[in-house]
Structure 1
Amino acid sequence: MNIIQNLLPDLIDLTPALDLYHPESVLYLVVVLVMFYLGKKVFDLTVPFNLNEQLTQEDNKAIATAFVGYMFGLGIIFWGVLTSEAARDVYWDLLDTAIWGGIGILLLNIARVINEQIILYQFDDVKELVEDRNVGTGAVACGAYIGAGLLVQGTIYGESMGYLQDIISVLIFFVLGEIFFVLYSVLYHRVVRFHLHDEIERDNVAAGVAFGMSFVAMGILLSGYMKFSYSLVGFALWFVLGTFLLLIFRYLIDKLILPGSLLDEEIRQDQNWGAALLEGGTAIAIALLMNAAFFS
């Protein structure tokens, strides 16, 4: 009875409910919606196909998968802006949201070029997405967009140091982060027991899903460090440590969680989505746990 009496005032307290009344929050959401629309228009203008036509008339699931990652990455950037230290007033906050939204749109489209021209350089990404409707390619693009969004979010999180210094920091860590994504893709390709690009090109969705989710895991790892420190040396060492642990845990999944079955054979030969999701989901969980263990 005493426990209930102690809890009752908190349970019926109206103050937290009244604290939810923030009319300015509607303004933030309006700006975010406008920036989402602008991001969609920029995407549509910079790709060699009609986005609306592919999403609706053609029902292209590969394009939809890639575009979901683009919008999700943009949302992660807005999340970073809205959860960072407040500016002088609501109008400066709205300006911050618009400015970083514009920068985020630009960087995500740069990430698309890097993904197409460097990471998946062995085949024509646009052909795979538009003509072949290759969902595996779409999954890789989705993961790369989300990873890029996490890079930007990690840099802008926290107290602003001034627009110029913030922008320089974002550009430096974004470029370095994308270089790390490329290096990780090379190492991942060497570790797996199949030709990654060939499997993705031949519409092996499982291979694309596993590879794409690994980008999300790496993005989580890198963004976690950027919230902790701006040291480039530490950033590079964290990438080395994170890559080593992600690949080690991939091996452990193969031996401990899937005994009697080779993870790579499940992905290559059986095109097993379940195995791909298990690999990718575990990598994301390990990335979150590493950030919590090292930076909390």
Structure 2
Amino acid sequence: METSFEFVWHSAVFLLVCLTLFFVAQLAFRMFNPSFNVNMELTEKDNLSFFLGYLGYFLGFLMIIGGVMKSEGSGDFYSEIILSLIYGGVGIVVLNLTSIILDKIIHPKLSLWDEIIAHGNASVGISKGAHYFSTGLIVGGVMLTEVNKPLEAGIFLLLALAIGSIGFMYYDFITPFKVRKEIYNGNVAAAIGAGGAQIAFAILIFSGFQIIHSSWQESMMIIGVDIAAGFILLPLIRWVVDKLFIPSAKLTDEIVNQEKPNIGAGLFEAASYIGGALLFIWCWNL
């Protein structure tokens, strides 16, 4: 049993490990994105769009760190330090690589970073940040439960990320407007709503990994239930928001059919998706 001193010492060391990993994460970000100068975007150009994407990157990595730190350990302090550094490093690589892949899947006709750097498009920055955060949440969920099983973790991760890309595309499907077009044209409200849908799906996938599974079949069934819930919840929540919470106007009109899109409506919609996903997993996992 740990003494009070050992507890404080171990906690301080793990905090230092986490800070070290964050430092490595920002170096990796620069390495994976050599086409632009991070410092120039942050301080000289004051590029809000870049800040939004960059913030999403670190919030996504925070979710990965949480998965690593809360995963089942070996019990040996020094082994835990080494494993945390290794798994954290793997998480950094996975976050950067999968973000590139998701960009190609979700936005095949546009380079998000080019739009962010060249035009400072805040809606694209929001979309990029949502990609990073939802990816980090999914990767963190896999690491939380499967970190000691590399093969299973890799397979689950591929499946989860493939499903995770559905969040944005399903939102595009259920809305009566072309989400990508609105985002590319600088519609921040539409980008926020789409980002909320993507994060909501990631939350549901994350939840599927938190339940102890005895077999692959059970794992797929639980995750499948969570995904099915996403397909049902998103249009239902959008209808509820439209009819009950904003009864004096149509949500679509507020987001796309007026000269200045209603950012507040987009925020309310995104928060509703995320809140609905959280309510479902809290009730489902009782």
Same fold (TM over 0.5): yes
Find the counterpart in structure 2 of residue 292 from structure 1.
Answer: 282
In structure 1, distance between residues paired with 2:7 and 2:164: 42
Q: Match of 2:247, SS? A: coil
Find the counterpart in structure 2 of residue 12 from structure 1.
Answer: none
2:189–2:262 contact (8 Å) kept in structure 1:
yes
Question: What is the CA-CA distance between 1:37 and the residue it aligns to?
Answer: 1.1
Q: Which runs of 5+ in 1 are unaligned?
A: 1-17
After alignment, is 98-107 or 121-130 more displaced? 121-130
Please list, as runs of the form range in 1=range in 2, the aligned pairs for 1:278-289 lying within 5 A after superposition.
Answer: 278-289=268-279
Q: Match of 2:120, SS? A: coil
In structure 1, distance between residues paired with 2:27 and 2:15: 18
- Superposed CA deviations along residues 164-220 of structure 1, whole A, max 9, x for unmatched, are x2x223322221122113333222112112111111011111111111122211111
In structure 2, distance between residues paired with 1:108 and 1:80: 13
Counterpart amino acid of 1:186? Answer: M
Which runs of structure 1 show a deviation greater than 4 angstroms over 4 or more consecutive aligned residues? Answer: 18-21
Q: Match of 1:259, SS? A: coil
In structure 2, distance between residues paired with 1:200 and 1:111: 21
In structure 2, distance between residues paired with 1:19 and 1:286: 42
Find the counterpart in structure 2 of residue 224 from structure 1.
Answer: 207
Q: Does 1:273 align with 2:256?
A: no
Counterpart amino acid of 1:84? Answer: S
Find the counterpart in structure 1 of residue 151 from structure 2.
Answer: 168
Q: Cα distance 1:161–1:266, how it changes in 2: closer, same or farther (>3 A)? A: closer
Question: What is the CA-CA distance between 1:114 and the residue it aligns to?
Answer: 2.4
Question: What is the CA-CA distance between 1:161 and the residue it aligns to?
Answer: 7.1
- Give the RMSD, CA atoms, in angstroms: 1.9
Find the counterpart in structure 2 of residue 257 from structure 1.
Answer: 245
Find the counterpart in structure 2 of residue 65 from structure 1.
Answer: 52
2:167–2:197 contact (8 Å) kept in structure 1:
no
2:123–2:183 contact (8 Å) kept in structure 1:
yes
Q: Which runs of 5+ in 2 are unaligned?
A: none
Please list, as runs of the form range in 1=range in 2, the aligned pairs for 1:10-29 lying within 5 A after superposition.
Answer: 22-29=8-15
After alignment, is 260-269 or 198-207 more displaced? 260-269
1:115–1:141 contact (8 Å) kept in structure 2:
no
After alignment, is 197-206 or 245-254 more displaced? 245-254
After alignment, is 97-106 or 172-181 more displaced? 172-181
In structure 2, distance between residues paired with 1:262 and 1:174: 38
Give the TM-score normalised by structure 1.
0.87
1:60–1:133 contact (8 Å) kept in structure 2:
yes
Find the counterpart in structure 2 of residue 240 from structure 1.
Answer: 228
Please list, as runs of the form range in 1=range in 2, the aligned pairs for 1:36-185 lying within 5 A after superposition.
Answer: 36-47=22-33, 48-158=35-145, 162=148, 165=149, 167-185=150-168
Please list, as runs of the form range in 1=range in 2, the aligned pairs for 1:178-217 lying within 5 A after superposition.
Answer: 178-217=161-200
Question: What is the CA-CA distance between 1:265 and the residue it aligns to?
Answer: 1.4
Q: What percentage of residue pairs aligned between the two structures are identical?
A: 28
Counterpart amino acid of 1:181? Answer: G
Q: Cα distance 1:244–1:94, how it changes in 2: closer, same or farther (>3 A)? A: same
